[in-house]
């Protein structure tokens, strides 16, 4: 079935054929095939071809048709500027004015102030004003990602008049599945589904059939909180209001998917000890610039481990076998800490860990660390006893691993909670940081125990 679908797609979308039509300047054949494609396929083709081919696309497609492609395409931040610079400025400004407001704002946010102003000056005053209003909201807030293209009706209107409004507004609205109800002061008072509008009597008042219990967000709310609300309620769209409860716009599910992807990438970067995930096309110097800050900091933290080992030099000189198991202990504790860290960060990000459940989660991690530590410790005791025929060393390493796993598990779960409590992003308690911290504590535990029982070891 999949193979049949792929073959069908190949019949509908012949990239080389489209490219040749552009080279031959065959506008009719190109438009006939290209405009029948899904907007995703159009965007993929547009992105793949070079600037010389794209220059012909701008001649063959209207700004309104290009707007659909720009709303679909997924580019790196700096690439938006590069692609816009390929177009005539007036063409680009008209294209941006045809885009949904939130998408146009996303593009304009990637330009410098001078370029942004030049595009806004070429747009009609109403569109420019709407875009400027959204540009004024702080980045990563609900206001910054909302769109003003939505359908609203007054609560004292009838279903008949509401359907007339819907028919008039539908072509420009991002979604028509939810119709939002406002009072005479444009304050949000309810919501009604398209289905309820269709099945209701035409003379029924909207107030009588609307749902008054509306879930909404404030324009100042963090986009990650909005994403969590939409995920919890399975919404396709959610209204955005100001402090006076006036309706400002809506956030649609496609924008929330972008937010979730952005936040996941950001958290992954921090867990990996990066300021941002490397672009595979980035130069080695650019990639190194992103990675070096964390690596240098962790290098200095690693020096603490070396200093600690220097303090136990006499112990290692007397029982050289101890050095053999240092990587085993530090590696195991680091892995355990990273596992606990991943659970804690995910729980905080998804809202599963609230104020009441923090203690429960910590208690669970303590017990988990205790169980995994004891099991790993016993396994190590047995391996070392049969391998080196030395029960004392086996017990020492086993006890060190058990204790290190317990401490690492507690640290991996507690540190993100502490950072979150302080108002920072818990993902900054990154994997490399936890691993380095656990290296220090595990070495201290292991060699500390070895020094205490040095007589027994010798």
What one-character DSSP code corresponds to residue 241? E
Q: 3-class DSSP state for residue 211?
A: strand
Q: 3-class DSSP state for residue 2?
A: helix
- pLDDT top residue among 85 and 305: 85
Q: Is 146 within the bounds of a domain?
A: no
Q: Is 147 within the bounds of a domain?
A: no
pLDDT, mean of residues 398-412? 89
Tens digits of residue pLDDT in 150-190: 999 999 999 999 999 999 998 888 888 899 999 999 999 99
Q: Is 61 within the bounds of a domain?
A: yes
Predicted pLDDT at 361: 84
The pTM is what? 0.63
Task: Kindly state whether residues 213 and 322 are assigned to the same domain.
Answer: no
Domain boundary pick from 208, 242, 268: 268
Q: For residue 206, list its beta bridge partners.
A: none
Task: Kindly state whether residues 132 and 156 are assigned to the same domain.
Answer: no
Domain boundary pick from 138, 170, 197: 138
Domain boundary pick from 107, 138, 169: 138
Cβ-contact 345, 271 below 8 angstroms: yes
- pLDDT top residue among 34 and 351: 34
Of the chain, the percentage scoring pLDDT greater than 70 comes to 81
Task: Kindly state whether residues 294 and 436 are assigned to the same domain.
Answer: yes
Q: Helices in 351-430 by DSSP H: which ranges?
A: 358-388, 391-421
State the DSSP string of 412-437: HHHHHHHHHHTTS-GGGS-HHHHHHH
**Token pair of 109 as six digits:** 């946010």
Task: Kindly state whether residues 210 and 243 are assigned to the same domain.
Answer: yes
Predicted pLDDT at 310: 66
Q: Is 278 within the bounds of a domain?
A: no
Task: Kindly state whether residues 342 and 452 are assigned to the same domain.
Answer: yes
**CA dist., res. 398 & res. 408, Å (int):** 15
153 φ, ψ to 5°? -135, 160
Predicted pLDDT at 192: 94
Q: 3-class DSSP state for residue 14?
A: coil
> Where do we find the tokens 């309104």?
64
**CA dist., res. 169 & res. 14, Å (int):** 36
Q: Is 277 within the bounds of a domain?
A: no
Tens digits of residue pLDDT in 126-146: 899 989 999 999 888 999 999
Task: Kindly state whether residues 69 and 182 are assigned to the same domain.
Answer: no
State the DSSP string of 263-306: HHHHHHHHHTT-SSPPPTTS-HHHHHHHHHHHHHHHHHHHHHHH
Q: Is 274 within the bounds of a domain?
A: no
Predicted pLDDT at 3: 46
Q: 3-class DSSP state for residue 345?
A: helix
pLDDT, mean of residues 22-36? 92
CATH for 337: 1.10.357.20
Q: Is the dihedral of CA 344, 350, 356, 357 positive or negative?
A: negative
Residue 364, Ramachandran bin (φ over 0: left; ψ between -120 and 50: alpha; else beta): alpha
Domain count, the chain: 3
CATH for 169: 3.10.580.10
**CA dist., res. 20 & res. 335, Å (int):** 54
The overall average pLDDT reported for the chain is 83
**CA dist., res. 386 & res. 25, Å (int):** 79
**Token pair of 352 as six digits:** 């599963």
What one-character DSSP code corresponds to residue 138? P
pLDDT-derived band at 292 (thresholds 50, 70, 90) equals low
| 9 pLDDT more than 50 | no
Q: Is 143 within the bounds of a domain?
A: no
Task: Kindly state whether residues 29 and 66 are assigned to the same domain.
Answer: yes
> Where do we find the tokens 């009719």?
28
Tens digits of residue pLDDT in 72-107: 888 777 788 889 999 999 999 999 999 998 889 989
Task: Kindly state whether residues 18 and 157 are assigned to the same domain.
Answer: no
Task: Kindly state whether residues 62 and 190 are assigned to the same domain.
Answer: no
Domain that holds residue 94: 2-138
**CA dist., res. 334 & res. 328, Å (int):** 10
**Token pair of 447 as six digits:** 């060699």
- CB-CB neighbours of 176 under 10 Å: 16
End-to-end Cα, the chain, rounded Å: 70
Tens digits of residue pLDDT in 238-254: 999 999 999 999 999 98
Task: Kindly state whether residues 293 and 431 are assigned to the same domain.
Answer: yes
Give the residue among 114, 127, 9, 13 at the shortest CA–CA distance from 63: 127
Q: Is 55 within the bounds of a domain?
A: yes
Task: Kindly state whether residues 264 and 290 are assigned to the same domain.
Answer: no
CATH for 98: 1.25.60.10
Residue 332, Ramachandran bin (φ over 0: left; ψ between -120 and 50: alpha; else beta): alpha
Q: Helices in 51-179 by DSSP H: which ranges?
A: 51-60, 63-72, 77-86, 89-98, 101-108, 113-122, 125-135, 142-145, 159-169
pLDDT-derived band at 372 (thresholds 50, 70, 90) equals very high
- CB-CB neighbours of 416 under 10 Å: 28
Cβ-contact 237, 173 below 8 angstroms: no
Tens digits of residue pLDDT in 207-232: 999 999 999 999 999 998 898 899 88
Task: Kindly state whether residues 251 and 228 are assigned to the same domain.
Answer: yes
- Pairing between strand 217-218 and 247-252? unpaired
């Amino acid at each position: 079935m999949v193979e049949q679908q792929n073959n069908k797609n190949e019949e509908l979308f012949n990239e080389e054929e489209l490219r040749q039509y552009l080279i031959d300047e065959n506008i009719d054949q190109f438009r006939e095939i290209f405009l029948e494609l899904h907007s995703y396929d159009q965007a993929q083709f547009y992105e793949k071809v070079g600037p010389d081919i794209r220059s012909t696309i701008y001649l063959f497609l209207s700004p309104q048709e290009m707007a659909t492609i720009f709303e679909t395409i997924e580019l790196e931040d700096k690439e938006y500027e590069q692609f816009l610079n390929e177009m005539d400025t007036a063409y680009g400004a008209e294209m941006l004015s045809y885009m949904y407001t939130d998408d146009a704002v996303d593009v304009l946010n990637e330009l410098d102030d001078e370029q942004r102003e030049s595009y806004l000056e070429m747009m009609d005053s109403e569109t420019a004003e709407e875009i400027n209003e959204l540009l004024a909201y702080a980045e990563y807030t609900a206001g910054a990602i909302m769109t003003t293209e939505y359908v609203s009706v007054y609560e004292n209107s009838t279903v008949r008049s509401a359907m007339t409004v819907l028919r008039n507004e539908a072509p420009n609205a991002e979604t028509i599945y939810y119709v939002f109800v406002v009072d005479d002061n444009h304050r949000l008072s309810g919501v009604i589904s398209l289905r309820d509008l269709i099945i209701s009597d035409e003379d029924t008042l909207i107030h009588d059939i609307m749902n008054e219990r509306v879930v909404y967000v404030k324009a100042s709310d963090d986009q990650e909180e909005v994403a969590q609300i939409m995920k919890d309620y399975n919404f396709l769209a959610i209204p955005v209001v100001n402090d006076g409860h006036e309706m400002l716009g809506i956030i649609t599910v496609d924008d929330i998917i972008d937010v979730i992807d952005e936040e996941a990438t950001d958290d992954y970067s921090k867990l990996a000890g990066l300021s941002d995930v490397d672009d595979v096309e980035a130069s080695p110097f650019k990639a190194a610039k992103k990675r070096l800050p964390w690596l240098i900091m962790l290098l200095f933290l690693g020096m603490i481990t070396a200093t600690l080992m220097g303090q136990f030099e006499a112990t290692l000189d007397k029982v050289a076998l101890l050095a053999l198991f240092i990587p085993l202990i530090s590696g195991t504790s680091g892995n355990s800490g990273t596992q606990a860290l991943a659970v804690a960060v995910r729980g905080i990000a998804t809202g599963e860990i609230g104020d009441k459940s923090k203690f429960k989660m910590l208690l669970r991690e303590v017990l988990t660390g205790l169980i995994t530590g004891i099991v790993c410790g016993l396994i190590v005791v047995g391996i070392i006893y049969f391998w080196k025929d030395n029960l004392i060393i086996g017990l020492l390493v086993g006890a060190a691993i058990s204790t290190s796993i317990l401490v690492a598990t507690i640290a991996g779960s507690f540190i993100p909670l502490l950072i979150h409590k302080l108002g920072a992003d818990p993902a900054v308690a990154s994997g490399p940081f936890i691993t380095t911290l656990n290296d220090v504590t595990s070495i201290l535990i292991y060699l500390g125990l070895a020094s205490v029982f040095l007589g027994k070891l010798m």
